[in-house]
Amino acid sequence: MSDPVIELRDVTRRFGALTVLDGVSMSLLRGETTVIVGPSGTGKSTLIKLLVGLLKPDAGTVLVDGQDVGKLGRAELMRLRRKFGMLFQDGALFHGMTVAQNVAFPLRHHLALKREEEERRVEVALQQVGLPGLGRRRPDELSGGQRKRVGLARALVMEPMIVLFDEPTSGLDPVTSAAIDELIVDTRKRLGLTFVVITHDVQSCVHIADRVGMLWEGRLRAWGPLAEVTASTDPVVRQFFDRRSDGPIKVV
Amino acid sequence: MDALASVGAFSRFCVRGVRVLPRMDRRETLDVAASMAFGTLLVTLAVTAFAGAMLTVQGFASLKAFGTPELLGMFISLAGVREVFPLIAAGCIGAKLGSALAAEVATLRTGQQLDALEVMGIEPLEHLLMPRMTAATLVTPLLAGLGVLCGLGASGVIATLQLGVDPGAFWARALDSIHPRDIAAGLTKALAFGALTGSLGCWHGYTAGSGPWAVGRAANLTVVQLMVVGALVNLLLSHLFYGGLL
Ligand SMILES: Nc1ncnc2c1ncn2[C@@H]1O[C@H](COP(=O)(O)OP(=O)(O)OP(=O)(O)O)[C@@H](O)[C@H]1O
Ligand SMILES: [Mg+2]
């Protein structure tokens, strides 16, 4: 249970003159929750997009389950992406559809299931995120936290190998954030999947992480098991985890 | 330089779109086409009807000054059916259908639904964009055709019922002046404009930034570029069909 599912080797990505990631290497292990933290604008979302091939690296390689994501053709990439489920910041649900239709959406496209089987899997996914019986609602009738849960249900319904979370707790109140953290820990334990979570919520990170990477100025400033990183004496890491405004990280 | 680069990117986008045509979601295309047609029909008919009435009143006044009011039917066919009604219809289609399309797709971009589709392994080009581009291309000739008929009809009503032109003479002159070439030109122009509306709307939606202004900007860019490029394409096609080139 501890071979790497995702490997980054010297990954560099620029936007114009701006080098967002500058030679980042890391191995994410199967069945672990890896949390990537870092101040705003350090390339966390860029990193996650590189994993699923929404962006290509300018240099270096991204390996997912042994495949070089940057070198795949479009069709192969589309196939590789079925190994992923991803929860987007605001859920990225389709507003013209009900909750159940949203969750069923990837199933409809990829598997020709019988109606009852499809309904069953949708209901199971909604149960897993604590929203049983809400299938008939529309996304605009839900709270922000509920929308994220539906987004997670949609990410889980295809039974992915890896689940990516882009800021699962941003914009939520502390209680709902804690509930989402709970849900992440719980789901990971129950399903044994590999989770990659991006956040700048320190509390959330401490709660859910097995392994932590901190990005700063395009590099991986800290990398290791949670306890190791939180005990680090590096002033950059300390400033972030102690939530101080004075220190090497400049607030712009 | 930047403009050139974006024209290149837009062309590549269109080529990619044409390539996935065989795999396009047909059902979505029909659904979208129906809602585009119904959503745009009323504006198009209303504006072309008023344009027809306006052109008739103007034409009648001028022709009467020359002592040839019986030529009104011919005038309406040459000015209205060939240029004014299609142009007005195109304006309505661009403003209504084009902006709505750009706004719809841009909303999916800013809300990350386009990224979500990609991550789910569902190609947005096949299931979202090409259906919309195709639907716009197919629906535009239909809407423009109905707009032209509506403008002509409104013109006939005003000419015969209000201005007292003899109905037999009006319709004979009007229909006499419409040639197969006009219909071919109209259809070609409408198909071209529809394809342009669909592709520009999808492109600006697809490439919309993030942030609160992105959706409005996508809609705005679409309508502005549609007017300029549309007018240019119209001119070229007019040259082709009427300028002795064909
Ligand atoms: N498509 C793009 N084109 C140009 N620049 C981009 C693009 N995407 C991101 N950037 C830039 O790259 C940098 C990193 O962006 P990214 O979204 O990865 O940051 P982030 O760590 O996720 O920040 P946040 O915590 O605010 O979400 C930013 O400076 C951003 O402006
Ligand atoms: Mg981000």
A52 Cβ under 8 Å from any chain B Cβ? yes
Domains and CATH numbers, chain A: 1-83+163-168+194-244 (3.40.50.300)
| Residue A1 reports pLDDT greater than 60 | no
Overall average pLDDT of the A226-237 stretch: 91
**What pLDDT shows up at residue B42?**
96
* Residue spans of chain B under pLDDT 70: 1, 245-246
Task: Judge: A81–B121 Cβ closer than 8 Å, yes or no.
Answer: yes
Most confident of A36-50, A174-188, B132-146, B164-178: B132-146
Cα end-to-end distance, chain A, whole Å: 41
The answer to whether A43 and A22 have CB atoms below 8 angstroms apart is no
What pLDDT digit, counting tens, does each position of B155-210 carry? 999 999 999 999 999 999 999 999 999 999 999 999 999 999 999 999 999 999 88
Determine the distance separating the centroid of ligand 1 and the alpha carbon of A33, expressed in angstroms.
Answer: 23
Which residue among A20, A58, A215, A240 has the greatest number of ligand 1 atoms within 8 angstroms of its CB, and so is best to mutate? A20
The pTM for the full model equals 0.86
| Residue A175 reports pLDDT greater than 90 | no
Task: Judge: B122–A79 Cβ closer than 8 Å, yes or no.
Answer: no
Residues of A in contact with B118 (CB under 8 A): 52, 54, 81
Model confidence band, residue A2 (pLDDT cutoffs 50, 70, 90): low
Please report the atom of ligand 1 found closest to the CA of residue A42. 21
**What pLDDT shows up at residue A227?**
93
Nearest-Cα distance to chain B for A118, in Å, is 17
Q: Of B182, B165, B156, give the one whose Cα is nearest residue B238.
A: B182
**What pLDDT shows up at residue B210?**
84
Q: How many whole angstroms separate alpha carbon B225 and alpha carbon B233?
A: 12
Average pLDDT, chain A: 90
A45 Cβ under 8 Å from any chain B Cβ? no
**What pLDDT shows up at residue B246?**
58
**What pLDDT shows up at residue B95?**
95
A104 Cβ under 8 Å from any chain B Cβ? no
The answer to whether B52 and B153 have CB atoms below 8 angstroms apart is yes
| Residue A31 reports pLDDT greater than 80 | yes
| Residue A179 reports pLDDT greater than 90 | no
Q: How many whole angstroms separate alpha carbon B212 and alpha carbon B45?
A: 33
Q: Of B176, B179, B191, give the one whose Cα is nearest residue B143.
A: B191
Model confidence band, residue A32 (pLDDT cutoffs 50, 70, 90): very high
Domain boundaries, chain B: 23-242
